[in-house]
Amino acid sequence: MDPLDGTKEFVKRTNEFTVNVALMQARLPILDVVHAPALNLTYYGGRNFGAWRQADDESSTPISTRRAGTFQLGVVASKDHAGPLISVMLARLTNPRLQSMGSSLKFCLVAEGKADIYLRDLPTMEWDTAAAQCIVEAAGGGVYSPDGKPLLYGKPGLKNPAS
């Protein structure tokens, strides 16, 4: 559980902060909720039933990642925690469209097909990623460590590698 993901965004009053809750099983998140209270927006999902988005008082709608194609690659990166390699990674892409924002909302943009990839070159903690990872995976995507393996949980120190 991360009761305030995007602390810097919360302090700056950008509305890009979330409350994240994930249920873990066998070192993986299996059920989750990411709620952005200032935006009245909730994402949730699970390994066995897909991913969903609910805004305001509207009904929940299923979400899914988009397939890679010849269109412009949508990239999200952290507003406050973009490391020095982000610009290097972006330079390797052909004409990327970059969005910068805070909290787990970056993962959620990938999950709902509004972005293709979330670049991160600085470490995070497990509570920063578990709930949003489950949403991305339930929507058809993946979250990987730099060695290309799925991100697992329960590591000593609870620190994720840069991804």
How is the chain split into domains, by residue range?
A: 2-147
* 110: three-class secondary structure by DSSP: helix
Confidence of residue 83 (pLDDT cuts 50, 70, 90): low
Q: Which of 46-55, 61-70, 129-138 shows the lowest per-residue confidence on average (mean pLDDT)?
A: 61-70
Mean pLDDT of all residues in 135-147: 91
Q: How far is residue 142's CA from residue 136's CA, in Å, rounded to a whole number?
A: 6
- Return the percent helix, strand and coil in the chain, to nearest 5: 25, 35, 40
Number of H helices, E strands in the chain: 4, 11
We find that the CATH architecture of domain 2-147 is 3-Layer(aba) Sandwich (3.40)
Q: Which of 33, 72, 37, 73 is nearest to 53 (CA)?
A: 33
What would the pLDDT profile of 59-69 be if each residue is shown by its tens digit?
999 999 998 76
Q: What is the pTM of this model?
A: 0.88
Would you give the distance in Å from CA 92 to the centre of its chain?
Answer: 22
